[in-house]
């Protein structure tokens, strides 16, 4: 009887043959779909030597594309971070009419094609769009300029920070904030002393993902930028132009920069997950922030 009770039902993968087969299939798919393209990018980028690679990176159009991409990220990522934190704080810490609707709005960029979003901006800010005549009257240029690129990048990356913070803040509840408020802390004091320390790793995790998507965005930006070489081309658009111009080495050299950014993003993601930003290890700090507020407000 004891032997019968101690026997466990077989699980998929218990057999060594099945386990090895599954691991082999996963490794093959990973090698073909992920590693092979990365190896090709690196090999093609340096296929004509380091000097040609350096010359392709140092080309004025490539440098301008890199600069434009970095500027877009420096503007779009902080704005989306502020939006994500505010949205997550509002949704998880307060009850108000339209709360569920706000959750739906946050998810919209994930359900709409980036190209559709770019076309929508054309109908809003274009010359024939909703605000086009008004913007033209005051000589304000949104599309085919930096503002349009930033708006399109912000649209496609708006949910990243909020989606990382909302589950964490829902799990933490409102007890800490209510305790801080009862001790006399203001709203900003509560946020910076209680809420922010408990969400900092998840927020950094969302920022990293948001930054990677901004730098690699193609669809929406391709519609609103106008693809003007040396003026409104971000790095992904510049890579496409180089490839269509049969400048293979230059295209792969520029692509290697985005590949490097992707690898750095993965390393940072893994590091943050180990430090507490992963979904399995998110635990709020329960005592220290509130006790500090109590000391300062007493």
3-state secondary structure 155-191: HHHCHHHHHHHHHHHHHHCCHHHHHHHHCCCCHHHHH
Kindly list the distances between the CA atom of residue 53 and the CA atoms of 38, 43, 68, 71, 138, in Å, as whole numbers in the listed order.
Answer: 16, 11, 20, 23, 44
**At 148, is the pLDDT very low, low, confident or very high (cuts 50, 70, 90)?**
very high
pTM as predicted: 0.81
Query: Which pLDDT score is estimated for 12?
Result: 60
Query: Which pLDDT score is estimated for 6?
Result: 54
Q: What are the sequence ranges of the domains in the chain?
A: 1-45, 49-297
Tokens 């220290």 appear where?
288
* 72 contacts: CB under 8 Å, gap ≥ 6: 146, 149, 150, 153, 214, 215, 234
Determine phi and psi for 285, rounding to 5 degrees.
-75, 125
* Residue 255 in this model has a pLDDT that exceeds 50: yes
* Residue 175 in this model has a pLDDT that exceeds 60: yes
Q: Tens of pLDDT along 72-110? A: 999 999 999 999 999 998 898 888 888 888 888 898 998
Q: Rounded CA gap, 265 and 277, in Å?
A: 14
Question: What percent of the chain is predicted at pLDDT more than 70?
Answer: 88
Query: Which pLDDT score is estimated for 230?
Result: 83
Question: Which letter, b or e, does each residue of 139-155 get, where b requires 16 or more Cβ atoms within 10 Å of its Cβ?
Answer: eeebbbbbebbbbbbbb
Query: Which pLDDT score is estimated for 121?
Result: 92
Q: Tens of pLDDT along 35-45? A: 888 898 888 88
Q: Rounded CA gap, 227 and 225, in Å?
A: 5
**At 298, is the pLDDT very low, low, confident or very high (cuts 50, 70, 90)?**
very low
Query: Which pLDDT score is estimated for 5?
Result: 52
Q: Rounded CA gap, 96 and 82, in Å?
A: 20
* Domain 49-297, CATH number (from 1.10.3720.10, 3.40.140.10, 3.40.50.300, 3.30.565.10): 1.10.3720.10
**At 288, is the pLDDT very low, low, confident or very high (cuts 50, 70, 90)?**
very low
């Amino acid at each position: 009887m004891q032997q019968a009770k101690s026997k466990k039902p077989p699980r998929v993968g218990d057999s060594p043959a099945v386990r090895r087969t599954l691991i082999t299939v996963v490794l093959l798919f990973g090698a073909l779909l992920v590693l092979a393209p990365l190896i090709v990018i690196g090999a093609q980028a340096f296929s004509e030597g380091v000097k040609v690679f350096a010359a392709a990176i140092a080309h004025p159009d490539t440098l301008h594309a890199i600069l434009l991409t970095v500027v877009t990220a420096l503007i779009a990522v902080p704005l989306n971070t502020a939006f994500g934190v505010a949205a997550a704080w509002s949704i998880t810490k307060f009850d108000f009419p339209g709360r569920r609707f706000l959750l739906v709005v946050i998810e919209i960029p994930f359900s709409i094609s980036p190209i559709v979003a770019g076309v929508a901006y054309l109908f809003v800010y274009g010359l024939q769009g909703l605000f086009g005549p008004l913007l033209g009257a005051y000589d304000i240029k949104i599309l085919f300029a930096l503002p349009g690129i930033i708006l399109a990048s912000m649209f496609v990356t708006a949910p990243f920070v909020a989606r990382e913070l909302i589950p964490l803040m829902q799990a933490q509840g409102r007890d800490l904030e209510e305790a801080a408020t009862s001790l006399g802390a203001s709203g900003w004091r509560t946020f910076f002393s209680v809420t922010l320390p408990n969400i900092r790793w998840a927020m950094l995790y969302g920022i990293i993902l948001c930054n990677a998507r901004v730098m690699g965005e193609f669809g929406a930006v391709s519609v609103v930028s106008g693809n003007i070489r040396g003026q409104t081309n971000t790095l992904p658009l510049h890579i496409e132009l180089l490839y269509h111009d049969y400048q293979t080495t230059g295209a792969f050299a520029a692509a290697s920069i985005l590949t490097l950014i992707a690898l750095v993003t993965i390393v940072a993601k893994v590091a943050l997950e180990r430090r507490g930003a992963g979904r399995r290890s998110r635990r709020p700090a329960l005592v220290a922030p509130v006790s500090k507020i109590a000391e300062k407000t007493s």
